[in-house]
A and B are shown apart, each in its own frame.
Chain A
Amino acid sequence: MSSSPLPGDASNDPTTDQTGRFVRQPNGRVRPLSPHLQIWRFHTTMWGSILNRFAAGALSVGSLFIGGWLAAAAFGPDAYAGYAAVMGSPLGLLIWFGITCAAAYHLTAGVRHLVWDAGAGLTPKAADALTVVSFIAALVISVGFWIVLFASGKVVL
């Protein structure tokens, strides 16, 4: 995997190429290798995509905490009080806040993808605008939710 400029005699013919820019796919077809990470200039939709996958991974871990809450409820008042104490500690609240952020962004980014899948908003300008909207909406949902939680006194530090 080379990030240096291509040598002058680099061939675009896959059969004579020596630079490793082509890959043989499992079905036998030869296809050009996509440029690696350091070739790309970071742009809005790229951040949107990376953060969406990151949020998906975070939510997968977060689902274990939801499962833990279900288990605590099913195991009775003592287990529930213990779980609530751990998850109501500053670290626990940070975990819940992280889950809220990941869920909010995965939701708004998912809606953005559904818009794209419907064939709308696919020009670079519209795609960037949709991505910025999904960032802001996720921030408003997650931060707003926690401001209201603290303001109502339902959650205290």
Chain B
Amino acid sequence: MSKSARFIRNVKVSERHGAGEWTAERLSALVLVPLALWGLWSAWSLSGAGYDGALDWFRSPVNSSLLAVTLLISVWHMNMGLKVIVDDYIHKPSSRTALLGLIGALCLLLAAAGVFFIVRLALGSAPLPAGLGA
């Protein structure tokens, strides 16, 4: 690295994207603290409530939007965390790239499928797969 280091208030500025990732991890963690407590409360409301209880729960816009937000931020946070674990333990560049790609794809799938299900449940759509064409 021939580029000279930059400093802000005597603290070295990261050479690449490390500081941004650090901030994103903390920011998502901070937002997830109240959402996790809300999730615990929701688990309490939903347990033993059965299918009809779950449908009622999803019909509330507050519940379904908070769940979608929780899912998206959790998956984002999870993807960053799994990336750190892979970076720590997998040293062969080709394996690391492949594994990170696989994890990223799975996270995207989980987020997309999750939001799709939540939106359908919130709108009161007919059960899948029957309602797909309608």
Residue numbers of A with Cβ under 8 A of B are 27-28, 53, 56-57, 59-60, 63-64, 66-67, 70-71, 73-77, 79-81, 84, 100, 103, 107, 110-111, 113-114, 117, 141, 145, 148-149, 153-155
The 4 A-B pairs at the shortest CB distance, nearest first, are namely: A76-B127, A154-B48, A74-B117, A70-B117
Judging by beta carbons under 8 Å apart, are B47 and A149 in contact?
yes
Interface of B is mostly: helix
Across the interface, which residues of B come within 8 angstroms of A67, CB to CB?
110, 113-114
Judging by beta carbons under 8 Å apart, are A76 and B48 in contact?
no
Judging by beta carbons under 8 Å apart, are A63 and B44 in contact?
no
Q: Which of B74, B85, B110, B121 contacts A57 (CB 8 A)?
A: B85
A80-B54 contact, Cβ under 8 Å, with A57-B85, A103-B36: yes
Judging by beta carbons under 8 Å apart, are B51 and A77 in contact?
yes
Across the interface, which residues of B come within 8 angstroms of A148, CB to CB?
44
Q: Which of A60, A63, A110 contacts B29 (CB 8 A)?
A: A110
A106 nearest in chain B by CB position? B36
B22 nearest in chain A by CB position? A117
A/B interface sample: 28 pairs, CB < 8 A:
A27-B1, A56-B81, A56-B82, A56-B85, A63-B78, A63-B110, A64-B110, A66-B114, A67-B110, A67-B114, A70-B118, A71-B113, A71-B117, A74-B117, A75-B127, A75-B128, A76-B130, A77-B51, A81-B51, A84-B51, A103-B36, A103-B40, A114-B29, A114-B30, A114-B33, A145-B43, A153-B48, A155-B48
